[in-house]
Chains A and B, each alone.
Chain A
Amino acid sequence: MIATPETTDLDGSHTVVSVPARGATLVETHELSKQYSGGVLAVAGLSLTIRAGEVFGLLGPNGAGKTTFLRMLTGLIKPTSGTATVAGGSPGSPHSLAHVGAMIEAPAFWPYLSGRDNLRLLARYCRLPDTRVAAVLAEVAMTEHAHRPTGTYSTGMKQRLGVAAALLKDPALLILDEPTNGLDPQGMVEFRNLIKNLGTGDRTVLLSSHLLNEVEQICTRIGVIRRGKLVTEGTIDEIRGGTELIVRAQPADQARLVLEKTYGADHVSVRDGAFSLRVDMSQTATIAKSLVMSGIDVTELRPAERSLEDVFIELTGTEGGS
Chain B
Amino acid sequence: MLAAVRAEWFKLVRRRALWVTIGLMVALAVGIEYFLVYIVATHPPAGAARAGAQLSALRTGLYPDSVIKKSLANASGLVGIFALIVGVLAQGSEYSWATVKTTLVQLPGRISIVGGQLASLAALALIMTLSLFIADAMASYVIATIDGNSAAWPSVIDLLKGIGAAWLILYFLTVLGFGLATAFRQSAMAIGLGLAYVLVIENLVFGLLVNLGDTFKQIQEWFPIANAGYLQDSFGRASGAVAAAVAGPPPVDAAHAVIVLALWLVGVAAVSATLVRTRDVT
Contacts and interface: CB of A to CB of B under 8 A. Distances in A.
Interface in B85-113: 97-99, 101-110, 113
Name the residue among A93, A98, A108, A126 with the largest chain B CB count within 10 angstroms. Answer: A108
Contact of A97 (B6, B99, B106): B106
Given A112-B17, A120-B10, A124-B6, A94 B108 contact: yes
Nearest to B282: A77
A242 interface: no
B10 A110 contact: no
B281 A125 contact: no
Contacts of B113: 125
B15 interface: yes
A108 B107 contact: no
Secondary structure at the B interface, as helix, strand, loop or mixed, is: helix
Contacts of A141: none
A125 B107 contact: yes
Lowest 8 A-B CB distances belong to which pairs? A77-B280, A108-B98, A124-B7, A125-B106, A76-B281, A126-B107, A125-B7, A102-B105
Given A125-B7, A127-B107, A109 B99 contact: yes
Given A76-B105, A108-B101, 13 more contacts: A5-B107, A75-B104, A76-B104, A94-B107, A97-B106, A101-B105, A110-B99, A112-B16, A120-B10, A121-B11, A125-B106, A125-B113, A126-B108
Contacts of A108: 97-99, 101-102
A98 B3 contact: no
A104 interface: yes
Interface in A87-104: 92-94, 97-98, 100-102, 104
A122 B106 CA distance: 7
B10 A124 contact: yes
Contacts of A169: 107
Contact of A76 (B17, B101, B108): B101
A268 B213 CA distance: 94
Contacts of B101: 76, 104, 108
Contact of B102 (A71, A100, A107): A107
B4 A125 contact: yes
Interface residues of B, number: 27
10 contacts: A76-B280, A97-B107, A97-B109, A101-B105, A104-B101, A108-B97, A109-B102, A124-B10, A125-B7, A169-B107
A309 B16 CA distance: 50
Nearest to A126: B107
A94 B10 contact: no
Main SS class of interface, A:
loop
A199 B80 CA distance: 52
Contacts of A110: 11, 15, 97, 99
Contacts of B282: 36, 71, 76-77
B181 to A, nearest CB: 16
A75 B4 CA distance: 18
Interface of B: 3-4, 6-7, 10-11, 14-17, 97-99, 101-110, 113, 280-282
A169 B107 CA distance: 9
A144 to B, nearest CB: 21
A113 interface: yes
A74 interface: yes
A169 to B, nearest CB: 7
A123 to B, nearest CB: 8
Interface string A41-77: 0000000000000000000000000000001001111
B152 to A, nearest CB: 44
A317 interface: no
A206 to B, nearest CB: 13
A113 B11 contact: yes
A110 B90 CA distance: 12
B280 A125 contact: no
B107 A98 contact: yes
A7 interface: yes
A151 to B, nearest CB: 9
B109 A111 contact: no
A127 B106 CA distance: 10
A76 B113 CA distance: 14
Interface in A1-54: 5, 7-8, 10, 36
A238 B219 CA distance: 71
Contacts of B10: 117, 120-121, 124
B172 to A, nearest CB: 26
Contacts of A124: 3, 6-7, 10
A252 B130 CA distance: 95
Nearest to A100: B105
A144 B248 CA distance: 66
B83 to A, nearest CB: 21
